[in-house]
Amino acid sequence: MTMRPFQILAFLLVLSATAFAFQNEEWTRPFPPFRMIGNIYWVGSYDLASYLINTQEGNIIVNTGMIGTAQQIRKSVEQLGFKLADTKILTATHGHFDHAAGMAELKRLTGAKLIVPEQDRGKINLVFSAHGTPMKLVQSGDPYQQQIIRTYEAVIAAGKFGLRHHLCYQSKVGPQRWLEPSLTGTIERLAAEKATHVIAIPIALRFGQRARSGKSSGTGQIE
């Protein structure tokens, strides 16, 4: 299996956040760590496998379980007599949240390099979502959309993600036309394309939207 470094903190944070709705108790139930074979140890929960591989160059943790199991993994590593700080590589057998939702926390705790399978990398769609604004403001010369586009392009250039990426807008209020494509429309399009790995990343907020876009009707719609 071909693997290469892949570091996108936003991916980890969004993946961790989405995992809350899909937990069951046995996925986060503590389980005593133990040596499986050779230099490979179980540091997972009762029903989710996480492995510690001890090497002379540093330790490797495979799979991190749910967002709440990162501290359990730390405790298990220490109970086995190892130091979490000696972890040099974090990886996962595949990109499902129950294998990788704890990555963000463990990366923060260890500073280890994150490596993911190439086949999962190629499936990822980065969806950058900015707060929208009415089209009438854009057409009147408001620079907001161009500012968002420049920010989006700068993030892509700096990140060097090498992934499919999309820019869209959210938070439409009222009946008038707002910036497009919408976040909902983008997700629906990707679903129709059979996309399996979609990561939504907030890229911008707009403050004072009501004051800049018109008078509030008092009903939640912008006139």
Domain layout of the chain by residue ranges: 3-119, 124-211
Mean pLDDT of the chain: 80
Judged against a pLDDT cut of 90, whether residue 107 lies above it is answered with no
Edge-to-edge strands, sheet with 164-170:
164-170, 124-131, 197-204
Judged against a pLDDT cut of 50, whether residue 57 lies above it is answered with yes
Residue 23, pLDDT score:
57
Q: Tell me: the pLDDT tens digits for 28-51?
A: 788 999 999 999 999 988 888 899
For residue 116, what are its two tokens?
A: 């993911």
Residue 205, pLDDT score:
65
pLDDT-derived band at 85, boundaries 50, 70, 90:
very high
Q: How far apart, in Å, are the Cα atoms of 112 and each of 60, 72, 77, 96, 158?
A: 9, 17, 15, 20, 21
Judged against a pLDDT cut of 90, whether residue 62 lies above it is answered with yes
pLDDT-derived band at 185, boundaries 50, 70, 90:
very high
Lowest mean pLDDT among 73-82, 99-108, 189-198: 99-108
CATH topology of domain 124-211: Rossmann fold (3.40.50)
pTM: 0.56
CATH topology of domain 3-119: Metallo-beta-lactamase; Chain A (3.60.15)
Residue 86, pLDDT score:
95
Looking at the DSSP bridge assignments, the partners of residue 51 are: 42, 62
The set of residues, in sequence order, having a beta carbon less than 8 Å from that of 67 and lying 6+ positions away, is: 16, 17, 19, 20, 101, 102, 104, 105
pLDDT-derived band at 206, boundaries 50, 70, 90:
low
Judged against a pLDDT cut of 60, whether residue 195 lies above it is answered with yes
Residue 207, pLDDT score:
53
Unique residue bearing structure tokens 């595949």: 94
Judged against a pLDDT cut of 60, whether residue 116 lies above it is answered with yes
pLDDT-derived band at 3, boundaries 50, 70, 90:
very low
- Which phi and psi (to 5°) does residue 92 adopt? -145, 150
Q: Tell me: the pLDDT tens digits for 146-174?
A: 999 999 999 889 877 788 899 999 988 88
Residue 219, pLDDT score:
35
